[in-house]
Amino acid sequence: MSTHTRTSRLTVPQLVAMKGRQKIVSLTAYSSAIARVVDPLVDFILVGDSTAMVAYGRPSTLGMRLDETIAHTRAVVDSTRLACVIADMPFGSYQESHEQAFRNCAQVLASTGCDALKLEANQALASTVEFLVARGIPIMAHIGLMPQFVNAMGGYKAQGLSPDSAAALRADAQANLQAGAFSLLLEGVAEPVARAITEASDKPTIGIGASPACDGQVLVTEDLLGLGGDHVPRFVKQYADVGQVIREACARYADDVRDGAFPALQHCYGA
**How many CB atoms within 10 Å of residue 78?**
13
The catalytically annotated residue of 187, 191, 222, 248 is 187
Q: What's the average model confidence in pLDDT over 213-224? A: 97
Is there a binding annotation on residue 50?
yes
Average pLDDT, the chain: 96
pLDDT surpasses 80 at 3: no
Report the pLDDT value the prediction gives residue 230, as an integer from 0 to 100: 74
Q: What's the average model confidence in pLDDT over 82-102? A: 99
User: Which residue has better confidence, 120 or 1?
Assistant: 120
CA dihedral 222, 225, 227, 233 (to 10 degrees): 70
Helix and strand totals (H; E) in the chain: 11, 8
> Rounded CA gap, 74 and 45, in Å?
12
Nearest to 77 by CA among 103, 109, 120: 109
Is there a binding annotation on residue 259?
no
Cα–chain center distance at 28: 5
Is there a binding annotation on residue 165?
no
Is there a binding annotation on residue 120?
yes
pLDDT surpasses 80 at 99: yes
Give Cβ neighbours of residue 8 (< 8 Å, ≥ 6 apart): 81, 82
Confidence of residue 232 (pLDDT cuts 50, 70, 90): confident
Helix (H) or strand (E) run with residue 84 in it: strand 84-88
Helix (H) or strand (E) run with residue 186 in it: strand 183-187
CA distances 116 to 47, 107, 237, Å, are: 11, 12, 27
> Rounded CA gap, 70 and 5, in Å?
29
- Asked if 119 and 104 count as a contact pair (C-beta separation under 8 A), the reply is no
Percent of the chain with pLDDT over 70: 99
Q: What's the average model confidence in pLDDT over 12-16? A: 99
> Rounded CA gap, 217 and 210, in Å?
9
User: Which CATH architecture best describes the domain 12-240?
Assistant: Alpha-Beta Barrel (3.20)
Strand partners, 186: 143, 207
User: Domain ranges in the chain?
Assistant: 12-240, 244-271
Confidence of residue 1 (pLDDT cuts 50, 70, 90): low
Q: What's the average model confidence in pLDDT over 172-176? A: 99
Q: What's the average model confidence in pLDDT over 176-200? A: 99
Ordered DSSP codes for 221-235: HHHHTT-S-S---TT
pLDDT in tens, 31-89: 999 999 999 999 999 999 999 999 999 999 999 999 999 999 999 999 999 999 999 99
Report the pLDDT value the prediction gives residue 228, as an integer from 0 to 100: 83
Report the pLDDT value the prediction gives residue 38, as an integer from 0 to 100: 98
Confidence of residue 5 (pLDDT cuts 50, 70, 90): confident
Which ranges of 180-241 does DSSP label H, i.e. alpha helix? Answer: 191-200, 221-224
Active site residue 187: yes
